[in-house]
Each structure stands twice: as structure tokens, then as C-alpha cells.
Structure 1
Amino acid sequence: MTRRPAKTRLLAAASLSALALAPAAHAADKTLTISVYSFAQDEFKEIVYDPFEEICDCDIVVETGNSVERLAKIEANKDDPVIDMAVLSTHDAMGAARKDLLQPVDVSKLSNYDKLYDIAKDPLGDHLGIGYTFYATSIVYRSDKVTVESWADLMSPELAGNVAFPDVTTNQGPPALYMLGQAMGSEGYDLSPAIEEVAAHADDIVTYYVRSSQLAQLMQQEEIWAAPVGRFAWGRFKDNGLPMEWARPKEGQTGGMNVMVMTANNGNEDLALQFMDFWLSTDIQTALAEALVDSPANAEVEVSDEVAENLTYGAETVASLKLLPPDVILDSRESWLEEWNAKVLK
């Protein structure tokens, strides 16, 4: 466990008076322990953690790691929680909720709750998670080689031998299969037709990638011309010196969402709620967006066109996202993997 300095006295350029955090003044000598992704921790420290410590007169202990490790720690300490608040994908959060590791978030104490896009307000049900960021998934492609107007174009003759597809075990895999199925006319969340379509074109697919960095390298080496990818990785492609485009398929875009959750019976609920509210504020969400750290779930955030180009941003884009429900992912991922292994990797 990494303990950070108690008082860094570094304030972000946020309008702190608007954050309704007066109760935090009574939090002297208190510690809030949070479990987060390792991504962009220097930026989070400057924009979120340090300014909140300054306001609340408290310590924030930040624990990082992959989702499996962090969930295991929360579960191992279920009876005596050592984590107060965590951020997780929607399906990982749903899994934790099913193990009674979480408690509902009292949204009446979040002054910024009503500013959120509707899809972020209660993505798990019963207010067990609050969306703080999301991302679109679409297709990046070489605009000098092909035109991509549909998810079905991934399996077109024009891309045969020059396309990559995310492995079903990745966060991008099931959503990409879902949208491929939509293009084929599938209804509901049955991924079997899409898996069969990928299997039928197995000889045309260069690789089933597991990391966006791997994909960026293949694109740079001109071994592939197109692939589904999350918007958070778009910067790796748009600046690679090749003619790249982000597709807006006629079926729409898919993606994913991360949520804030409160661990059950942690005894530090008030401070955790104050921290969540701070993170969801317009000023902080704007600063994170401008630093290209997170796409904002707060609908009041306004950024330049240049910044927006790198994010999943704006009411129209958010409304167009077709997200797989977290319970569907949780209940189906084992059967999806079994079918993928049997038909695609045979």
C-alpha cells in the first residue's frame, strides 16, 4: 500500500467555492482510501487528489492495480473494509455488487449528480455505481486504402488480410462483436452470429489483439488497415503520420463506462461522498478532459474542438452509444469465451 504525503497544498484551477464541500472541514485527521486504475496517476494527483486533500484537511491513500487484484482485495477484506471507494468497469462493479461488497451511493448528497448525462446516473441500478467517465468504441482505418461506413465492412473483401479484431477476452471484444451482429441484423445481445461471422473470415484477420499498443504498432507498420478500438487510444493512431479516420458507422458506436462505487460498511461514507462529488464537479471533470485523461460524464463540461477530438464528448455522441448492459457481460462472458475458442481459435 502506497501512502501519499498528507498535505501537498497544490490547488487546481477549480472554483472550489462552488463544490458544496463545507462539511469536509470537520474531516481533520481523517483518511480516505481509494482503489483506482494505474492510468494517468500523475494527472489525477495534480487535478483531483491534492486539491481535495487541501479542502477536506484529510489524507488520501491511493491504491492501484489491475481490476482482478483490486477486486480480490476488496473481497478479502469484506468484513473489515480497507478500501472506502473504488472505480471499476460497470461489469466488474456489478460482479462486486452481487457478492455484497458494495453499498448504494446516497445521491441526495451529491450536489453534482443532476449534472450527469442520464446514462451515467444509475448504470447498475439501485445507485450501486455512478458513472464518471465513458468511452466510445468504433473502427480506426486507413482512409487512403478503404472507406468504413458499417461494422460489416470489417469482414469485407476490401479489408481481407488487412484487418485486426479484438480478442473476446478484452474490453473491446464483446462490444465489437455486438455491433458486428447489429450490422448483420441480429437482435438482442446474442453474440453467436457475430462470432460465427468472425470464424468464417478467420483467414482474413491478421490478429486478435489484446492491447491497443499492439494494434498501433501493426497500423504503423502498415500490416493492417482497420480495427475496432476504444476512443481513449485514438491519439496513438491519429498522430502516426498516416491518413487515419475514426469511423462513424451507420449502426452507431459502442463503448464502455467506468463507475465510482462505495464499499459496504466502510464507516467512511461521508468523506467518500464528498470526494465523489468533488470528482464529478464541472471544474474537475473539465480539467480531466482538458488533460485528455477522461471523457466527462458531467454534461456541463465544455472543451475546445481540439480537445473534444480526442474524447467521447457531447450530448449527441453520448446518446448514440450502444453499450452492452453490465449484467449481460457478467452472465455471458464465459459462454462467449467457450464459443470463441471452439469456433474462432479452433
Structure 2
Amino acid sequence: MTHLRTILCSGAAGLALLSAGTASAQTKTLYVGMNGGNFERTFTQDVFPDFEKANDVKVVVVPGTSSDILAKATAAKDNPQMHVIFLDDGVMNRAITAGLCEKFKESPELGEIDKSARMKDDMAVGVDMGMTGLAYNKKMFDEEGWASPTSWMDLADPKFQDKVVFQSASASTYGLHAFLMFNRIQGGDESNVEPGFTKFGETIGQNVLEFIPNSAKISEMVQTGEAAIFPLTPTAVSTLQEKGIPVEYAQPKEGSVVLMVTQCIIANNSEPELSQKLAAYLLSADAQSKALTAGNIVPSNPNAKAATPEAEAKLAAFHDYMKTAVTLDWDVINTNRSEWNARWNRTIER
């Protein structure tokens, strides 16, 4: 009898081990393309873990700019390597047009999202609401006795010669936003960029110390005293401030430019149901409250809550900036973007 009990116990233990091994083998991985830095850190450390535990899944970030992520998704369209991607709204328009995205399924979380954050036919939905305005080196401004900037045209003020850092309009949404606002001030619009291209070099261009592909170098260039003023978002400014970098945000009188980071579910990916589930979770008030508190990521779900008075104040300031924010015509922009990029690289960022 003892021998039989031993055999049975051994068999049960073996089955338990086999079961554990099978469960472990079934743990799935979802790949999410998104911006590195603050975005990657916030979602990896504070947002994804609850979803991973609840669904026995590992979420891995594929970091890169919106342009990088779009290029990777396009190259793998026939055999998708990512499941969900985060892109700036303008770039997301291109992804949708290219057939890379799958429509969001109806869910309670989707139903809570502001209509302004739901792109056409729910092919993509905003997860971070923001705008591009101006930021400046407060330490330098204080030392020089300069007033805070109030206009996009401050980028052309002669006192900032070799002190303007400008993100490339052919590679960065921030740079494109700033260029198109300058173009509007010069009398153009998205259908007519001649004023911008004609006048940029003799105005803002005279002050540019360096054209950078993204905003990663701004922190260093502020600390070394090279950068005085540059296009940036309130969220990015808050992130730099938390690192002790002396920057401030300024809302231009002509308006900032609406910049929404959106997510889409990659069409024909290997885990369609789990991808839909993750995307819905990222729209939830719970997930967006975590992202707001941990990373200053402004929620698209109005039910998301700020955990601290500081976060609540930032959210109130954001809503105030939105009152004068400008929305660009992305259909026109994306139709002409390749031509503009080539012209920018050839005539301005030589």
C-alpha cells in the first residue's frame, strides 16, 4: 500500500511539473512599438505589469520614433512582428491609409474615450493628449534677463542667434509642427507651404544652432548652455523638470499644435484577441491614471484621475492650453510629406 501511495504521489508530482511546464510554455509575448525614454519607462514599469499578471502575458516594447515604428510595421506588413503600435496622430494617418491597422472592437473602455481622441472608424485611438508649443532654458533666460517667449516668431529673434535647437521637420513631428505654424504666420497653410520654405532660412534658420532628428539631445544641450529655445510639449517639459533640467513651457499666442499619441492594433497579427484586450486596457481609466501619475502622460479617458495635487495642476494647465490649440490638416500633409521632406533636406537642413 505504501509502495502504491509512493507511485501515486510520484505520478501526481510528475503531472504537476508537467502542468507547470505547459503553463510556462503557454505564456505569450506581445510586442508594442512605441517611443523610448519616458514612454517606454512609464508603460513598462507602471502600466503593463497589471495586464501581464492578469493575462499571463509578457509585453515587450520595441522602442523608436513614430517614423521608425511605422517603417518597421510597413516592412513586416505581410508577417507582422508587432501587435500594437503607438504613433503620433499624423504618422498614424499614414499607417491607417497603408492598411496596417485593425478596427478597435467595441468595449466599455472605448466607450469612455472622448470623441476627439477616436480617429476615423476607430482604426486608432488616442492614449496621450498633447500639443507642441515652445520650451525654453529658464536658467539662461533668467541670467540674460529675457522675458518668457510668447510667439512662434520668437524663434527668429536675433538675440537667439545660434541658440535655437530645431527638430528636423523631415524626421520629427515637433519640427514639422513648428515649421507649419511658422508657415501659417507667413500667410500659408497646409495646402501652400511656399511662404514657409521661402522665408524660414532668412528668419528662424539664421538662429538655428543644430537641427536634431528627435528631442533626445535637448536635455544635454540645455545643461551645456547651448539651447535657449526649442519646440516641445508640456509633457516632455515636465519630464525634463523632474530630472532637474531647468526648462519651462510657453504657450504661443498663435496657438500650440494638437499632438495626440495614438495606438492601433496591427492587422493580421499573431494574437488578435489578446492585442484587442491590451489595447482596450490601455484606454481604461485605471491604466491612464497610472500613466498620468508616473509619466505625465495626459489621458484621453476623462475618468482617469490624477493621484497628486501636482498632477492635477498639470492636467488643468493642459486643458487651458487646449483652448487655443490648432489642428492641422493631416490629409493634405500626408499627401505632400515626401515632397516636403526632400525639399526640407535639400534647401534648409543642408
Whether these two folds match at TM > 0.5 is: yes
Match of 2:4 in 1: none
1:138 aligned onto 2:133: yes
- Range moving further from structure 2, 161-170 or 313-322: 313-322
Q: Deviation at 1:311?
A: 6.6
Give the Cα–Cα distance (whole angstroms) in 2 for the partners of residues 319 and 161 of structure 1. 32
1:119 aligned onto 2:116: yes
1:59 aligned onto 2:85: no
- Tell me: CA distance 1:331–1:288, structure 2 relative to 1, closer, same or farther (3 Å): same
- Tell me: CA distance 1:160–1:83, structure 2 relative to 1, closer, same or farther (3 Å): closer
Match of 2:164 in 1: 163
Match of 1:306 in 2: 310
Give the Cα–Cα distance (whole angstroms) in 1 for the partners of residues 117 and 287 of structure 2. 16
1:86 aligned onto 2:85: yes
- Tell me: CA distance 1:311–1:173, structure 2 relative to 1, closer, same or farther (3 Å): farther
- Range moving further from structure 2, 298-307 or 148-157: 298-307
Letter in 2 for 1:340: W
Match of 1:178 in 2: 180
Q: Deviation at 1:342?
A: 3.9
Match of 2:123 in 1: 128
Match of 1:271 among 256, 274, 283: 274
**Do the aligned residues in 2 keep the contact of 1:43 with 1:293 (CA within 8 Å)?**
no
1:259 aligned onto 2:259: no
Q: Deviation at 1:173?
A: 1.1
**Do the aligned residues in 2 keep the contact of 1:230 with 1:255 (CA within 8 Å)?**
no
Q: Deviation at 1:84?
A: 3.1
Give a deviation string over 1:62-99, Cα, whole Å, max 9, x none: 24132566445544544454433322233333333333
**Counterpart secondary structure, 1:249:** coil
Q: Deviation at 1:127?
A: 1.6
1:339 aligned onto 2:343: yes
Q: Deviation at 1:241?
A: 7.3
Match of 1:330 in 2: 334
Match of 1:195 among 194, 197, 215: 197
**Counterpart secondary structure, 2:122:** coil
Q: Deviation at 1:174?
A: 0.9
Give the Cα–Cα distance (whole angstroms) in 2 for the partners of residues 300 and 273 of structure 1. 21
- Where is the helix percentage greater, Structure 1 or Structure 2? 2
Give the Cα–Cα distance (whole angstroms) in 1 for the partners of residues 183 and 282 of structure 2. 36
**Do the aligned residues in 1 keep the contact of 2:95 with 2:101 (CA within 8 Å)?**
yes
Match of 1:228 among 219, 227, 231: 231
TM-score (norm 2): 0.76
Letter in 2 for 1:113: L
Give the Cα–Cα distance (whole angstroms) in 2 for the partners of residues 210 and 156 of structure 1. 23
Percent identity between the aligned chains?
A: 22
- Tell me: CA distance 1:252–1:294, structure 2 relative to 1, closer, same or farther (3 Å): same
The structure with more radius of gyration: 2
**Do the aligned residues in 1 keep the contact of 2:187 with 2:195 (CA within 8 Å)?**
no
- Tell me: CA distance 1:220–1:337, structure 2 relative to 1, closer, same or farther (3 Å): same
**Do the aligned residues in 1 keep the contact of 2:46 with 2:294 (CA within 8 Å)?**
no
Give the Cα–Cα distance (whole angstroms) in 1 for the partners of residues 116 and 253 of structure 2. 21
**Counterpart secondary structure, 2:341:** helix
- Range moving further from structure 2, 277-286 or 336-345: 336-345
Give a deviation string over 1:237-270, Cα, whole Å, max 9, x none: 5468787532111111114222221222336433
Letter in 2 for 1:31: K
Q: Deviation at 1:119?
A: 2.2
Give the Cα–Cα distance (whole angstroms) in 1 for the partners of residues 78 and 189 of structure 2. 42
- Range moving further from structure 2, 159-168 or 246-255: 159-168
**Do the aligned residues in 2 keep the contact of 1:33 with 1:82 (CA within 8 Å)?**
no
Q: Deviation at 1:137?
A: 1.4
Q: Deviation at 1:31?
A: 3.2
- 1:43-58 counterparts in 2 under 5 A? 43-56=42-55, 58=56
Q: Deviation at 1:223?
A: 3.1
- Runs of 5+ unmatched residues, structure 1: 1-27
Match of 2:321 in 1: 317
Give the Cα–Cα distance (whole angstroms) in 2 for the partners of residues 278 and 182 of structure 1. 38
Match of 1:281 in 2: 284
- Tell me: CA distance 1:64–1:311, structure 2 relative to 1, closer, same or farther (3 Å): farther
**Do the aligned residues in 2 keep the contact of 1:47 with 1:288 (CA within 8 Å)?**
yes
**Do the aligned residues in 2 keep the contact of 1:292 with 1:311 (CA within 8 Å)?**
no
Q: Deviation at 1:120?
A: 1.0
Give the Cα–Cα distance (whole angstroms) in 1 for the partners of residues 46 and 285 of structure 2. 13
**Do the aligned residues in 2 keep the contact of 1:35 with 1:85 (CA within 8 Å)?**
yes
**Counterpart secondary structure, 1:252:** coil
